Amino acid sequence: MTRIITLLNEKNHYLEKFYSLNEVELANFAQGQFDNLEHFYQTRERILEVLKYVDAQIEKVHDEEAQQNGITEGERREVKEALAIKDEYVARIIEQDIQVLACIEMAKNSIIRELQEVRRSRKAVGGYKSKTFNNRLNEEV
């Protein structure tokens, strides 16, 4: 059971890293700085891979230890505490992800508005071109 507790604490450590990474990038996103977006997502994916591995290890150790003796009250308390910490990090990360998505959505909408404005401007400039100028060029040719 000690191994499971160690793995749960390791999982919480990586959840904390994930949370901290989100905090830093959220501050950048709020300022409209998306230059680090690709690195941000790659780092998150690597942390998620580690978390997946740790979960698999927890399951493996649990299956091995399920056939052995029960757990002590102290171990039970440590497991509950580690799980409570995990739940808290997961809830915070979900809140952060909602904020990240909102920042990205706002930036996307801003880019769409800019592109629409550029398109309108091009149409307006195109409207000022006279057909007589084109006809004159054709006649000269």
Q: Tens digits of per-residue pLDDT, 66-87?
A: 667 677 888 889 999 999 999 9
On average, the pLDDT of the chain sits at 87
83-110 burial, b at 16+ Cβ within 10 Å, e below that, comes to: eebeeebeebbeebeeebeebeeeeeee
pLDDT of residue 16: 97
Mean pLDDT of 109-125: 84
Kindly report the pTM of this predicted structure: 0.74
Indicate if the pLDDT at residue 18 is higher than 60: yes
Q: How many domains does the chain have?
A: 1
- Structural domain including 77 reads 2-140
Q: In whole angstroms, what is the distance from residue 117 CA to residue 40 CA?
A: 30
Phi, psi of 34 (to 5 degrees): -115, 15
Round to whole Å and give the CA distance between 16 and 133. Answer: 66
Is there a contact between 81 and 4 (Cβ–Cβ < 8 Å)?
no
Tokens 């399951």 -> residue: 59
Name which of 46-50, 92-96, 117-121 the model is least confident about: 117-121
Which amino acid would we find at residue 7?
L
Residues 6+ apart with CB under 8 A from 35: 28
Q: What is the pLDDT of residue 81?
A: 96
Q: What pLDDT band is residue 46 in, cutting at 50, 70 and 90?
A: very high
